[in-house]
Amino acid sequence: MKNFFLIRHFGMVYAIIFTICNPLYPLHVNADELIFSEKPGFLSTFEDGDGNQLSLENFKDTFILVNLWATWCEPCKEEMPSLELLQNQFNEDEFLVLPINLDRGPKKKAINFFKDQNIRNLNIYFDDKNEIPREVKILGLPVSIFISKDGKEISRLIGPAQWDKEYFVEYIKGNLF
């Protein structure tokens, strides 16, 4: 009985420390705080739902919002419906949301999440090797990166956001031309 209490208390302490010190959870969650910088876009590849290898080059001449997310990340899942609402406001030939799932293992969990949330106007992409997060040097999720029509990163947002807000819509409209 004493061992049970020790194990339970140790587990609780571990959970608290993991939650506070977890480098994968962003402490910066202020919405509308884009970090502006112009640098080359990432070169890592990712897959579409059919397993085809893609890169940013496949979306040249389109303004892109790459959203890096995972099904185990609650803020990622919470912001996904607003990403779809944002996409609904634009023609996919001009602006495209690319939600790239970073779960390792079966893709079915992410696909089922989209189905359960009735997300129909976003295509799902996968980077189960987590090459993109290493290349763009992120420590937490969600992270969203705006990629210009010529393939350069122009800004990013760390943490979740309500993407269909006027702030983001106006930012996108300003970068379409």
Exposed e or buried b per residue across 54-93, where buried means at least 16 C-beta atoms within 10 angstroms of its C-beta: eebeebeebbbbbbbbbbebebbbebbbbbbebbeebeee
Q: Give yes or no for residue 68 having a pLDDT over 50.
A: yes
CA-CA distances (angstroms) from residue 9 to 3, 4, 20?
Answer: 10, 9, 17
Mean pLDDT on 47-75: 97
Examine the pLDDT at 119 and tell me if it is beyond 70.
Answer: yes
pTM for this predicted structure: 0.82
Indicate the average pLDDT of the chain.
88
3-state secondary structure of 101: strand
Spell out the residues 6+ positions from residue 144 whose beta carbon is closer than 8 angstroms to its own: 65, 66, 67, 68, 156, 157, 161, 163
Cα–Cα distance for residue pair 46/52, rounded to 1 Å = 8
Q: What's the pLDDT score for residue 22?
A: 44
141 within 8 A of 102, measured Cβ to Cβ:
yes
Of residues 39 and 23, more confidence is placed in 39
Cβ distance 72 to 26 under 8 Å? no
The confidence score (pLDDT) of residue 17 equals 41
pLDDT range class, residue 33, cuts 50, 70, 90: confident
**At 170, phi and psi to the nearest 5?**
-65, -40
Query: Residue 124 corresponds to which tokens in the numbers above?
Result: 């799902």
**Sequence-ordered list of residues with C-beta below 8 angstroms from that of 55, at least 6 positions apart, any chain:** 43, 44, 45, 46
> Which domains are present in the chain?
26-175 (3.40.30.10)
The pLDDT of residue 15 is 44
Task: Write out pLDDT tens, residues 16-28.
Answer: 444 443 444 444 4
